[in-house]
């Protein structure tokens, strides 16, 4: 085990109008049994362990304290009820390095319940005086990533390096502690429903149970998954840099009159491709490849510079012919510019329209997301509407309250509605990309045309002036042509310089992209290392042993397996849950969790070494099985670890087993929370 967590003590303090109530419990290494009769506050104590760790989000998505009224509202003293004025939980924990801290968290009182004060030292068992404390926050955004977050602190305290894992949203997220603890803490209400545990899904982590198992048992696939998430992130960053560079180049070229084509939206390898990107440059009224434009401009300039400058008289006839030609050209170009302006306006309006629609769909999706939350709330509250029934007459109701009669049509379910909205969003994003490309082209086209028009007008002005010049004067049109050539050549060379510069960047990005993509492809998606297989074989053997010891009878335990892909128990390739009776599901849950702890004692894992079972005798698992659980837990703890079992099993049944077992017993004769 590389990580470590031990519960050392827990104190509940409840201040009422009639004085202080509470309880304090110490836990030891090995097996701990907490006994109290039903409804005496045992689960309050167990939930306090989670609350003290700031992990109650494992059992509830709501931002409320997970306690019964005894800690929050009123307390039954036996003589009547008294109002709770203030209450808090103190939890003393130790890690694998022997560091001890005590956490203190308010349930009711002046402090916000999301605030956790963490004191160094054993405030409960050694009576250390509270010294310097850290104030951390729990159940708030970023609690897992930031130093001031309780999750961040707890992970460091236990010695866990929390991996980043893939989410349904596409971006990686930390493997939140609430998704790991279901394998370490079986809570009474939610923990017994599934063999591996009930894993919160609200974090959007893909295959949550699988990721939690891989991490806890330190399977090599965890590191691979982490590397995969890291690579995917780096690839996204590279793609974004690529796109940024291409756009910047395109804009820079456009300002100089050039036009870029052939740069894809995402990195491609090999780069440059056989048919690489091309820059076109306006020359003599048309767009020609940049190297050709430079070559022709240079040749023309050389020719002009090679001889003496002609006089206006020598150049007049040629100038007048050119003037006529250019004036005709200008009229045609003005018409073309009008068309280009209209095209640009249409492209702009198209982008705006798609952006508006996309905004609506995104808003619709957010609302649908809220609606789904309301649907879940309605399910939790058992509202009949949530199951499609009329709350008054019980008849089926449609998915709509619209006045129009939908009875003859089938309305889309909320999930399908969301799917439809997502499809629409994708389509609009696609259209937006196309519309923006159109607009980009229109921009470039207009910029190029304006640039050429300006040059044309300059030339016409000069030619007109020259027609009125005296014959002996130097030809202004030839001089202007030379100046114009120098300017165009300067622009063309600048375009070439920028293109070469960005080409190098693109080449580097394409190379990096190819390397990272290659590595990503080589990461096996489901392959386990030899050590992983050995670990899983050990877990499987101990799981089968445990099931046998606990009297699992729905199936022959020897036929059970631990899946090499989902890491959950299965039978003949099917999820075990469907083949077991309710009480056997409980037995399998005991066996699974104990098997993990047992293997963690012998192999390198991230298991915290502590396991909590709150009321494990669910679904009337037999007396014999329960005794076997106590005995087996004790045996597992002999090699290390801590198991806490909270139970209200009939004392007469429990006592004989406890007599034969080495365990630390915490027995409450009456209520757990009593007068102090």
Partner 1 sequence: MAEPVERPSIDAEVEFSDRGISVPIEYRPVWMLGAMSVLLWKCSHGAKSSVERLEVLDWAVASTRNTDLLLGHLRAGDSEVAMRLSVRGTVRRAVAVLVGEGLAERQGGTRVALTSEGKKWAKDVWEALSPRDLLRVNAERIQKSFTEGAMTSLRRIR
Chain residues that interact with partner 1, rule: CB under 8 A: 62-63, 246, 250, 259-261, 263-265, 287, 363-364, 366-371, 373-375, 377-378, 381, 383-386, 390-392, 397, 399-403, 406, 409-414, 416-417, 420, 430, 433-434, 437-438, 440-441, 444-445, 448
In the 3-class helix/strand/coil scheme, how is 591-635 assigned residue by residue? HHHHHHHHHHCCCCCCCCCEEEEECCCCCCCCHHHHHHHHHHHHH
Choice between 310 and 446, CB closer to partner 1: 446
Return the DSSP state at 149.
B
Strand partners for 552: none
Work out how close the CB of 443 gets to partner 1 at its nearest, in angstroms, rounded to a whole number: 9
Work out how close the CB of 159 gets to partner 1 at its nearest, in angstroms, rounded to a whole number: 35
Quote the Cα angle for 575-578-584, to 5°.
Answer: 100
Using CA atoms, how far apart are residues 318 and 467, in angstroms rounded to an integer?
A: 10
Choice between 338 and 391, CB closer to partner 1: 391
Choice between 424 and 564, CB closer to partner 1: 424
Using CA atoms, how far apart are residues 388 and 407, in angstroms rounded to an integer?
A: 13
Using CA atoms, how far apart are residues 404 and 449, in angstroms rounded to an integer?
A: 55
Give 13's contacts (C-beta < 8 A, 6+ positions apart): 20, 21, 22, 87, 88, 89, 90, 676
Work out how close the CB of 400 gets to partner 1 at its nearest, in angstroms, rounded to a whole number: 4
Work out how close the CB of 243 gets to partner 1 at its nearest, in angstroms, rounded to a whole number: 8
Using CA atoms, how far apart are residues 6 and 98, in angstroms rounded to an integer?
A: 10
Work out how close the CB of 419 gets to partner 1 at its nearest, in angstroms, rounded to a whole number: 9
How many CB atoms sit inside 10 A of residue 236's CB?
A: 12
- The helix (H) or strand (E) run that includes residue 377 is helix 312-380
Using CA atoms, how far apart are residues 205 and 200, in angstroms rounded to an integer?
A: 9
Work out how close the CB of 238 gets to partner 1 at its nearest, in angstroms, rounded to a whole number: 16
Choice between 271 and 668, CB closer to partner 1: 271
Choice between 147 and 405, CB closer to partner 1: 405
| Residue 29 vs residues 33, 627, 668: alpha-carbon distances, Å | 12, 20, 20
Return the DSSP state at 663.
-
Work out how close the CB of 52 gets to partner 1 at its nearest, in angstroms, rounded to a whole number: 24
Work out how close the CB of 421 gets to partner 1 at its nearest, in angstroms, rounded to a whole number: 9
Choice between 31 and 361, CB closer to partner 1: 361
Choice between 26 and 441, CB closer to partner 1: 441
**Overall residue count recorded for the chain in this entry:** 676
Work out how close the CB of 266 gets to partner 1 at its nearest, in angstroms, rounded to a whole number: 9
Choice between 432 and 465, CB closer to partner 1: 432
Supply the DSSP string of 494-554, one letter for each residue.
Answer: HHHHHHHHHHHHHHHHHHHHHHHHHHHHHS-SSPPPHHHHHHHHHHHHHHHHHHHHTT--S
Work out how close the CB of 522 gets to partner 1 at its nearest, in angstroms, rounded to a whole number: 24
Choice between 42 and 139, CB closer to partner 1: 139
| Residue 268 vs residues 241, 244, 505: alpha-carbon distances, Å | 13, 15, 13
The three-state secondary structure class of 272 is coil
Choice between 108 and 368, CB closer to partner 1: 368
Give 605's contacts (C-beta < 8 A, 6+ positions apart): 1, 2, 216, 217, 218, 535, 599
Are 406 and 398 in contact by the 8 Å Cβ rule? The answer is: yes
| Residue 390 vs residues 191, 372, 383, 402, 431: alpha-carbon distances, Å | 32, 19, 10, 15, 41
Choice between 280 and 607, CB closer to partner 1: 280
Choice between 79 and 382, CB closer to partner 1: 382
Work out how close the CB of 365 gets to partner 1 at its nearest, in angstroms, rounded to a whole number: 10
Work out how close the CB of 157 gets to partner 1 at its nearest, in angstroms, rounded to a whole number: 30
Give 363's contacts (C-beta < 8 A, 6+ positions apart): none
């Amino acid at each position: 085990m590389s990580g470590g967590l031990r519960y050392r003590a827990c104190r509940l303090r409840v201040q009422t109008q009639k004085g202080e109530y509470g309880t304090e419990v110490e836990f030891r290494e090995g097996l701990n049994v907490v006994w109290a009769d039903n409804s005496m506050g045992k689960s309050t104590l167990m939930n306090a362990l989670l609350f003290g760790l700031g992990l109650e989000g494992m059992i509830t998505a709501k931002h409320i304290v997970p306690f019964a009224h005894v800690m929050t509202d009123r307390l039954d003293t036996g003589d009547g009820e008294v109002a709770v004025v203030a209450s808090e939980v103190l939890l003393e924990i130790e890690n694998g390095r022997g560091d001890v801290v005590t956490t203190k968290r308010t349930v009711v009182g002046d402090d916000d319940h999301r605030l956790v004060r963490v004191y160094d030292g054993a405030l409960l068992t050694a009576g250390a005086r509270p010294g310097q404390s850290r104030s951390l926050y729990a159940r708030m955004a970023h609690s897992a990533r930031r130093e001031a977050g309780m999750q961040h602190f707890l992970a460091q305290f236990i010695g866990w390096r929390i991996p980043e894992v893939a989410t349904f949203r596409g971006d990686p997220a930390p493997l939140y502690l609430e998704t790991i603890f279901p394998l370490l803490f079986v809570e009474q209400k939610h923990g017994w429903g599934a063999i591996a545990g009930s894993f919160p899904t609200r974090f959007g982590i893909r295959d949550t149970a699988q990721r939690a198992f891989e991490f806890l048992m330190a399977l090599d696939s965890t590191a691979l998954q982490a590397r995969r998430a890291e690579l995917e992130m780096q690839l996204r960053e590279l793609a974004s840099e690529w796109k940024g560079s291409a756009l910047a180049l395109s804009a820079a070229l456009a300002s100089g009159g050039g036009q870029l084509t052939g740069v894809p939206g995402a990195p491609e390898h090999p780069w440059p491709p056989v048919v690489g990107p091309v820059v076109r440059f306006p020359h003599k009224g048309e767009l020609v490849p940049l190297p050709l434009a430079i070559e022709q401009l240079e040749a023309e300039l050389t020719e002009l510079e090679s001889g003496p400058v002609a006089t206006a008289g020598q150049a007049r006839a040629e100038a007048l012919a050119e003037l006529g030609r250019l004036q005709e050209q200008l009229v045609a170009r003005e018409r073309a510019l009008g068309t280009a302006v209209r095209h640009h306006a249409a492209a702009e309006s198209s982008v705006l329209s798609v952006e508006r629609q996309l905004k609506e769909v995104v808003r619709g999706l957010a609302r649908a997301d809220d609606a789904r939350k309301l649907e879940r709330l309605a399910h939790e509250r058992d509202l009949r509407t949530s199951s499609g029934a009329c709350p008054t007459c019980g008849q089926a109701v449609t998915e709509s309250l619209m006045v129009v009669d939908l009875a003859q049509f089938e309305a889309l379910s909320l999930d399908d509605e969301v799917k439809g909205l997502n499809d629409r969003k994708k389509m609009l994003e696609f259209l937006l990309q196309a519309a923006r490309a159109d607009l980009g082209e229109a921009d470039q086209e207009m910029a190029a045309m304006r640039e050429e028009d300006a040059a044309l007008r300059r030339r016409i002005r000069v030619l007109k002036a020259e027609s009125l010049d005296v014959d002996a004067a130097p030809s202004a049109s030839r001089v202007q042509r030379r100046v114009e050539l120098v300017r165009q050549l300067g622009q063309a060379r600048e375009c070439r310089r920028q293109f070469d510069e960005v080409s190098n960047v693109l080449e580097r990005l394409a190379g990096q992209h190819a390397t990272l993509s290659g590595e990503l492809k080589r990461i096996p998606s489901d392959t386990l290392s030899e050590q992983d297989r050995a670990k899983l074989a050990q877990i499987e053997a101990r799981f089968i042993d445990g099931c046998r010891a606990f009297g699992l009878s729905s199936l022959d335990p020897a036929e059970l397996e631990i899946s090499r892909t989902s890491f959950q128990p299965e039978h003949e390739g099917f999820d075990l849950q469907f083949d077991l009776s309710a009480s056997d599901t409980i037995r399998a849950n005991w066996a699974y969790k104990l098997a993990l702890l047992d293997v963690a004692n012998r192999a390198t894992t991230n298991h915290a070494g502590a396991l909590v079972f709150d009321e494990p005798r669910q679904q009337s698992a037999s007396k014999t099985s329960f005794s076997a659980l106590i005995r087996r837990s004790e045996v597992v703890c002999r090699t290390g670890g801590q198991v806490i079992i909270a139970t209200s099993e009939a004392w007469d049944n429990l006592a004989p087993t406890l007599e034969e077992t080495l365990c630390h017993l915490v027995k409450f004769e009456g209520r757990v929370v009593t007068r102090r």
